[in-house]
Amino acid sequence: MFPSQIIIEGPDRTGKDTQINLLQQYAWNNHKLAYNLSHYSHLKNINDYQSYSNTLYDNLIYRMCISNTYDIYNRSHIGEYVYAPMYRNYSGDYIFDIEMKYFIDNYDHIFLITLITDPLVLISRDDKLSFSNNLEQKQLEISKFKEAHEMSIIKKKLLIDCTDMSKEEVQELIIQNI
């Protein structure tokens, strides 16, 4: 049975949108499940982004725990752990406190998928919307996503290095593990 809450995380240009589209198609075609999509990203013109983010992710995780719908999240609190210290000048460690607040129980309906790839691939796919096109920054982002994935107390999770994989191979790996 597919989890009702799926989080797809990873640096910009790792194929999150592609995998979400493929997963939605697969879920509908094979199980008649229609997933709602939520996309979380940096908002401009927020005066106190740290306070805003804390409230946002607290509400998001609470929603995941109680939801009775099928939802896919394109980015979530894991990205905040990575991007807050790198680009917003505050620590993202608080997201693990929020996890502890809600994920003490084993929520089998929540699944975290973190996609990573070679930083040179990320730079070659840059659409000028990413935080950075700097190789060292991309390497750090990948390292921090791996770290955040491991630190997360979400019980069901999968880290995929997509470097030498086709989008179909990545999808197959996701389907096998979900």
Which ranges in the chain belong to alpha helices (H)?
Answer: 16-31, 49-66, 77-83, 94-102, 119-124, 135-151, 167-177
DSSP secondary structure string for all residues of 75-125: S-HHHHHHHIIIIISS--THHHHHHHHHTTS--TTEEEEEEE--HHHHHHT
Correct CATH for 5-177 of 3.40.50.300, 2.170.270.10, 3.10.290.10, 3.90.180.10: 3.40.50.300
The answer to whether the CB of 154 falls within 8 A of the CB of 103 is yes
Binned at pLDDT 50, 70 and 90, residue 130 comes out as low
Calculate Rg over the CA atoms of the chain.
16
DSSP strand pairing (110-116 vs 5-9)? parallel
Alpha carbons 111 and 61: distance in angstroms, whole number: 12
Predicted TM-score (pTM) of the model is 0.91
pLDDT (0 to 100) of residue 2 = 83
Alpha carbons 160 and 2: distance in angstroms, whole number: 18
Convert the pLDDT of each residue in 2-14 to its tens digit.
889 999 999 988 9
Convert the pLDDT of each residue in 46-93 to its tens digit.
778 899 999 999 999 999 999 889 999 999 999 999 999 998 899 999
Nearest to 146 by CA among 3, 7, 11: 11
The answer to whether the CB of 162 falls within 8 A of the CB of 170 is yes
**Amino acid occupying residue 128:** K
